[in-house]
A and B are shown apart, each in its own frame.
Chain A
Amino acid sequence: MPQMEIKQPINVMLTPQFYTLKKEILPIKFAYQAKRIAASLFEGMVPERRTYDYFVYKEGDQWVFIAYSLEEIIEFLQSKGLYPESISKLFFAQQAVAVFREPYLLSDKEVLGVVDDKVVVMPRSAVGDEALNTTMELPNPTKGIAIQSAYASVLSLKEALGFAAIFLLFSVLFIAEGVRYGGDTKAGTQELESLIEANPSLSSQYTRESIAAKYRKIDEAERKKRETIKVLLEMISKGVELQALYIDEKGFRAEYAVNEPSAIRRIESQAKKAKFTLQKSTEGIKVEGRL
């Protein structure tokens, strides 16, 4: 058998070399029941080195049992360039016994013929000068072995292309979105550029950090001084007079003359809240702290 190039899945009819046949008249009604006992019928008839499957069908009042090694069949077909995915169904020559009653020429030396209602391979010399078929329209039995479903792809080409189309569509969307995100920092860049344009001396990051560090320090210290002065001035109220206020880089001090006892409690509360130190004396209250 020469190497073959297959574009469409095909059906293959197997000659008797690839199976073992047995016919039995059995009191069985259904094929699934016959299939259950098939293995026991072939005990000792088929080599044990391979795994066998069984094909069963009814021919008249007889059950036809066929034992075959799918592994062996696939190996042979692959060696001829026929891969499982390119085979639709496997049939057995026995299924077309009527066709082979007129011998079919297999090769120069062999023919396919029928002996005792069984399709067999015979030497050509055995049929003498009988007319031989070299071509024939093989029947397409309804029952066969669907090899493609067992060995071929999980996905059909149509399904695979469908999935591929969906995945590619999403790929395009993701890429487009990604590209859009990649170039979408214009607003931020423009704002920074306009700020740098208005303040060219701050264009350098180093300069900015240096200036920021310098003024942050001043800002922090001066805000603290001003906040402290405000708190100290807030302590002045009815019955409280500011006698002295001193503030420098390190700390502060304020002295109040207090005429009302209730004001003392209020100043104490304010000083406690602001975490200032408070000293009471006969002359009044002294509040101080560090900056």
Chain B
Amino acid sequence: MNFRRYQNEMIAAVSLLLMLTAFFFKEGQISGKEERMNVLQDSVSEMREVIALKEIWDDKELDKKAKELQTAVAPSKVKWNQKSKKVTASYQGLSVDEFNVLLKKLLNLGVEIELFDVKKERTLYDVELRCKW
């Protein structure tokens, strides 16, 4: 084959090939970047989720915050028993308002509710609560 005869076409073809290679290199870098960004984004999202979950369910202040369940009602109406990170509480004769305050505090605390038993006696409520964190 006479290469000299196709010299001009070869110049154009080689430069075209170089351009196509550069183009695919660029495309590869773009998709690679997207992939890396997705992995990074996933890691960041997962990290944020873990941090958020820990803030709710592994709050270091929960010991103190859980005490609010005890102080939400008059001391005479509650029997409080806390062992480490587990609480068993018995509330007697709560008014509607007291019951609502207690319920609101319980729902907003990051504790695991094991038992929440409410019984109405005439106009007052008796509550059994068992939770942990």
B22 to chain A, nearest CB (A): 4
Q: Does A151 contact B (CB under 8 A)?
A: yes
- State whether the Cβ of A163 lies closer than 8 Å to any Cβ in chain B: yes
Q: Which residue of A lies closest to B118 (CB)?
A: A245
Q: Which residues of A contact B14 (CB under 8 A)?
A: 164
Interface string of A145-180 (1 = CB under 8 A from B): 000000111111101110111011011111101110
A46 part of interface (Cβ distance < 8 Å): no
A85-B116 in contact given A181-B30, A196-B47, A215-B58 (Cβ < 8 Å): no
A132 interface hit (Cβ, 8 Å): no
Task: Find the B residue at minimum CB distance from A153.
Answer: B8
Whether the pair A178, B29 counts as a contact (CB closer than 8 A) is yes
Given A85-B5, A215-B53, A160–B11 Cβ distance below 8 Å? yes
| Interface of A, helix, strand, loop or mixed by DSSP | helix
> Does A266 interact with chain B (Cβ within 8 Å)?
no
* B113 sits at the interface (CB 8 A): yes
Cβ of A244 under 8 Å from chain B = yes
B25 close to A174 (CB less than 8 A): yes
Q: Given A160-B8, A163-B12, A174-B19, A244–B33 Cβ distance below 8 Å?
A: no
Nearest CB of chain B from residue A291's CB, rounded to whole Å: 10
Closest to A253 in B: B117
A83-B5, A157-B8, A211-B54 given as contacts; is B118 within 8 A of A185 (CB)? Answer: no
Is A249 interfacial (CB 8 A cutoff)? yes
A47 to B29, CA, bound (A): 63
B37 CB–A CB distance under 8 Å: yes
B45-80 contact mask (Cβ, 8 Å, vs A): 1 or 0: 011111101101110000000000000000000000
Answer whether A218 and B51 are a contact pair too, CB < 8 Å, given A85-B4, A182-B33, A192-B44.
no
On whether the beta carbons of A246 and B8 are closer than 8 Å, the reply is: no
A189 at the interface (CB under 8 A from B): yes
Contact with B along A208-245 (1 / 0, CB 8 A): 11011001101101100110011001000000011111
User: A184 near B: Cβ within 8 Å?
Assistant: yes
CB distance from B92 to the nearest CB of A (A): 15
The majority secondary structure among interface residues of chain B is: helix
Cα distance A212–B23 in the bound complex, in angstroms: 41
Kindly identify which residue among B9, B19, B22, B46 contacts A160, using a CB–CB cutoff of 8 Å. B9
Flag whether B101 is at the interface (Cβ < 8 A): no
**CA of A146 to CA of B11, assembled, Å:** 24
Q: Which of B5, B12, B23 contacts A151 (CB 8 A)?
A: B5
Is A202 interfacial (CB 8 A cutoff)? yes
Pair A178/B25 contact, Cβ less than 8 Å: yes
**In this assembly, does A108 line the interface, its C-beta being within 8 Å of a C-beta of chain B?**
no
Instruction: Give the number of A-B contacts (CB < 8 Å).
Output: 170
In whole angstroms, what is the CA distance A196 to B40 when docked? 12
Q: Which residue of A lies closest to B127 (CB)?
A: A245
Which of the residues B5, B43, B107 comes within 8 Å of A226, measured between beta carbons? B107
Task: Find out whether the CB atom of A174 lies under 8 angstroms from the CB atom of B47.
Answer: no
Which of B19, B41, B120 lies at the interface centre, i.e. has the most chain A CB atoms within 10 A of its CB? B19
Assess A163 versus B15: contact at CB under 8 Å? Given A154-B9, A225-B113: yes
Asked if A248 is at the interface of the complex by the 8 Å CB criterion, the answer is: yes
Interface CB pairs A-B, < 8 A, 18: A83-B5, A152-B5, A153-B8, A157-B7, A167-B19, A168-B19, A172-B22, A174-B19, A178-B28, A182-B29, A185-B37, A202-B47, A211-B53, A215-B54, A244-B119, A245-B116, A245-B117, A248-B116
Closest A-B pairs by Cβ, 8 of them: A188-B40, A215-B53, A160-B8, A174-B22, A178-B26, A167-B15, A164-B15, A171-B22
Q: Which residues of A contact B (CB under 8 A)?
A: 83-85, 151-157, 159-161, 163-165, 167-168, 170-175, 177-179, 181-182, 184-185, 188-189, 191-192, 195-196, 199, 202, 205, 208-209, 211-212, 215-216, 218-219, 221-222, 225-226, 229-230, 233, 241-249
A154-B9, A175-B26, A215-B54 are known; give 5 further A-B pairs, CB within 8 A. Answer: A161-B11, A184-B33, A229-B103, A246-B116, A246-B117
